[in-house]
Amino acid sequence: MLAPICLFTYNRLAETQQTIEALQNNFLASESELFIFSDGPKNEASKPKVTEVRAFLHSVSGFKSVSLIEANENKGLARSIISGVSEIIKKYGKVIVLEDDLITSPNFLDFMNQALNFYRDHENIFSISGYSLDLPSLEGYEADYYLGYRASSWGWGTWLDRWEQIDWAVSDYKKFIFDPFEHIKFMRGGSDLPFMLWKQMNGKIDSWAIRWCFHQYRREQLTVFPSQSKVTSIGYGEEATHTKETNRFDTNLDDGVNRLFSFDLDLRLEKKLVKEFRNKFSVYKRIKDKF
DSSP per residue, 163-195: HTT--TT-TTHHHHHT-HHHHHHHGGG-TTHHH
Q: What are phi and psi of 158, to 5 degrees?
A: -155, -175
Count CA within 13 A, CB hemisphere, residue 194.
17
Residue 149: Cβ within 10 Å count:
23
Residue 205: Cβ within 10 Å count:
15
Q: Give the structural domain span for 12.
A: 5-290
Q: Which amino acid is at 99?
A: E
Is 155 in contact with 254 (CB distance < 8 Å)?
no
Is 17 in contact with 103 (CB distance < 8 Å)?
no
Q: Which class for 12: exposed (0-12), middle (13-18), buried (19 or more C-beta within 10 A)? A: buried
Regions of the chain where pLDDT drops below 50? 238-243
Domains contained in the chain, number: 1
pLDDT reported for residue 245: 54
Angle between helices 13-24 and 47-57 (to 10 degrees): 20
Which stretches of 130-254 are DSSP H helices? 160-163, 173-177, 180-186, 193-201, 208-219
User: Percentage of the chain with pLDDT > 70?
Assistant: 94
pLDDT reported for residue 222: 98
Report the CATH number at residue 274. 3.90.550.10
pLDDT reported for residue 21: 98
pLDDT reported for residue 289: 65
pLDDT reported for residue 32: 98
* Non-local CB neighbours of 41 within 8 Å, separated by 6+ positions: 11, 47, 49, 50, 74
Residue 260: Cβ within 10 Å count:
9
Q: Which amino acid is at 248?
A: R
